[in-house]
Structures are given as structure tokens and as C-alpha cells.
A and B are shown apart, each in its own frame.
Chain A
Amino acid sequence: MSVEPKAPSFLKRVWSFAVELWGVLIRPSSVFALGVLVLAGFVAGVMFWGAFNTALELTNTEKFCTSCHEMRDNLFSELKSTIHFSNRSGVRATCPDCHVPHNWTDKIARKMQASKEVWGHLFGFIDTREKFMDKRLELALHEWARFKANDSLECRNCHSADSMDVTKQSPRAAVAHERYLFTGEKTCIDCHKGIAHHLPDMRGVPGWQ
């Protein structure tokens, strides 16, 4: 590395540091044993992965979701009156149970999509009730399309068609499930829209008036 007599500019110093670092990185280590490097890499990897997953799971909680007023005032408050929040056995669904896939790759894909929601929050896409109501149909359509595409996976994480005992259902429900669910003709979201949140203006939505 040549050292110039004059004090180099900041950019030049950054550049020469980067070149020097690259030079170190592409040469074999002359100080550390291979075992130390492998072990250190492994430990660092575990720590990075742990931190990454912890942070990921932190964003996968109801507390995190409802820390934004858009979610708390509009959607969470609507959930509270439904059977998915309060029921006889006390089993309840939190936001990510329905809106985030459990499978890791799908989860990451959903999380990447959700970065747009952060953008929307920062720039106030739905920061008032009126804006939210105007956008409500569009947002709901996205979510219905997602459920339709993955065959209502998040519903089925808890509600298994195989474990469904239609003899314990009301006659109406039993007939509908036997005719449409068990045959695979329809998926949960086709009929069960608006079970956890209020419905948007449903004019034009298939199956609605």
C-alpha cells in the first residue's frame, strides 16, 4: 500500500481501506487455525440466526401488530366481538395466526410483502378512519386472494377438514361442508368472509349482493 505525502481525501481513504480489506479477505489466514475460523463462523452464524429469528418473531405478535393505530383502532377492535377473540373454550386466534403463514419460506415472503405496510404506515395511507374505509375493499380483496391461492391454509392450520365431525355441526353447516368443502369445490374463505373483521362494501364481490 503506497502512502501519499499529502493527506488523502475522505473518499480516497475509504477506497484504499476497502481495497486493503479485500486483500485480506481473499488471502488465507496466517494467524488463526482453520478450526478456530470454522468454529467462530459457526458460533457467529448461530448468533446471527437466533437474533434474526427473534426479531422476526417479535414482529409476529399481536402486540406488535396493534402497536400501530391503524390496526388497533380499525381491525383489532372489530376482532374483539367475534368468536375468534372470545368464545367458550378460550382458544383464540391472534393476528399472525390468520395473516402470516407458518411455513418459513412463505412466512419470509409474506414479511417482505408486509414491508409495504410499514411504508404505508410511515406515509399515512390509512391514517384516518375515512381513508381506511375507502381502501377497505382493496385491502380485503388482497387478503381474500391470498387465502384463495393457498387454499385457506391459515384457517386449516387449526380447522382440519379431516377432523371435522359434521354430525356435531348444525344441519345447515353439515350440508354445506359435505357439499362444498369435502369435495374441494370451495375453500373456507369462499363462504367465510367477514368472520373476524367487518366487511367492506360487498357490491361486486362474487357471491354477494
Chain B
Amino acid sequence: MIKHLKIALLVAAIAAATGTLAAESLTSDLRGSTPLNDEGPAAPMAPTRNTSEHETRNYPEQPPVIPHSIDGYQIDLRSNKCLSCHARARTGESQAPMVSITHFMDRDGQFLASVSPRRFFCTECHVPQSVTNPPVSNDFVDIDTMLSRSAPGGRR
């Protein structure tokens, strides 16, 4: 008798749970109202930040982001559009920052005369920035903030 009661309770619980699940819409804030099994319309492409101002790096090793648009820039074995401004010999005319000296090093730490082949493809590390609100916020804290928090006197 008790066993039957247990089964009945279980069935009732499952039914209730299923009902609640079914009633809940299968959407999330990021997806909007598109059901999970559908592909929604693509969001409009955000414009690219197009300035010549450096952006602060979040940590010293961070590859600086590209503050300007690079639409149509050709970077392949035959040519490198970025280097037509950022190469050492070109910076006088272009007033662009020179590629870092680390880019002239081969993997044994030897400095070459020009950009090392392993550092040739700029967009492997450096990327342009979109002017948009990120759908997921970032709670990264840089080292200076972190240190000042732990220092006596707390957050300054």
C-alpha cells in the first residue's frame, strides 16, 4: 500500500515538474525570444573603432589592440598591408608605432633584420575593436587595481 502511495507521489511529482518545465519558455536573455532549437536572425554587424589612439593594455604582455579599421587589408605570404605602415623603415612617413622589437626575434632569441616569420601574421594576436556593448560583461581586474585593494588603506 505504502509502495503504491510512493509510486503515485513520484508520478505526481514528475508530472508537476514536467508541467513547470513545459510552461517555462526555452529562451535566454542573450538569445532574445528565439527558441533554443532555432537559429535567430544575425545581429547587425557593429562598426569598427576607427581612430589612431592607443588603447590601454590590461596587462603588460597583452598584444595591443588595433584602434583602426583593417577592412580589406591583405596579410598573406605575398604581402603584408600592416607592415606598409608599421615596419621600421615606414614609421617615419606613416607616424605609426613600429612593430615591437620582440617581433624581430626568432624562437632562439636571435634578432633578425626584419620581422620574424613566426610573427608575420599580425591578426593572429592583434585585433580591431567593435563599437558595441558586450552582451556579457567582463569582470577582469588589472594588477594595479588588485595590488591597491590588498594594500593597507584598501581600495583607493
Dominant secondary structure at the B interface: loop
Contact: B68 with A195, CB < 8 Å?
Answer: no
The chain B residue with its CB closest to the CB of A81 is B72
Taking CB atoms, residues of chain B closer than 8 Å to A175 are 52, 95
The CA of A202 and the CA of B68, in the complex, are separated in Å by 23
Query: How many residues of A sit at the interface, in one of the four size bands?
Result: 10 to 19
Given contacts A82-B72, A170-B69, A194-B79, contact A209 B95 (CB under 8 A): no
Contacting residue for B79 out of A81, A176, A201, CB 8 A = A201
Q: Nearest Cβ in chain B — how far from A75, in angstroms?
A: 15
Tell me whether A199 and B79 are in contact (CB under 8 A). yes
Contact call A195/B72, Cβ cutoff below 8 A: yes
Question: Does B51 lie within 8 Å of A170, measured CB to CB?
Answer: yes
Interface membership of A198, Cβ < 8 A: yes
Q: Which residues of B contact A171 (CB under 8 A)?
A: 51-53
Alpha-carbon gap, A172 to B77, bound state (A): 26
Residue of A175, A191, A207 with most chain B CB atoms under a 10 A cut-off:
A207
Please name the residue on chain B nearest to A208 by beta carbon. Answer: B84
Interface presence of B105 (CB below 8 A): no
B90 within 8 A of A: yes
Contact with A along B68-109 (1 / 0, CB 8 A): 110110100111110110010010011100000000000000
The answer, among A195, A200, A201, A209, for a CB contact under 8 Å with B83, is A209
Q: Which A84-131 residues sit within 8 Å CB-CB of chain B?
A: none
B contact residues around A198 at 8 Å (CB): 74, 78
What separation, in Å, do the CA atoms of A170 and B50 have in the docked complex?
6
Docked Cα-Cα span, A201 to B94, in Å, equals 22
B72, A83: Cβ atoms closer than 8 Å: yes
Decide if A172 touches B83 in the complex (CB within 8 Å).
Answer: no
Cα(A198)–Cα(B72), bound, Å = 10
A-B pairs with lowest CB-CB distance, top 5: A202-B79, A199-B79, A170-B50, A209-B83, A201-B78
Q: Which residues of B contact A (CB under 8 A)?
A: 50-53, 68-69, 71-72, 74, 77-81, 83-84, 87, 90, 93-95, 114-115
Query: What are 28 residue pairs bridging A and B, where the CB atoms are less than 8 Å apart in the complex?
Result: A81-B72, A170-B51, A170-B52, A170-B69, A171-B51, A171-B52, A172-B52, A172-B68, A175-B52, A175-B95, A176-B94, A194-B74, A195-B72, A198-B78, A199-B74, A199-B78, A199-B81, A200-B78, A200-B79, A201-B77, A201-B79, A202-B78, A207-B84, A207-B90, A208-B79, A209-B84, A209-B87, A209-B114
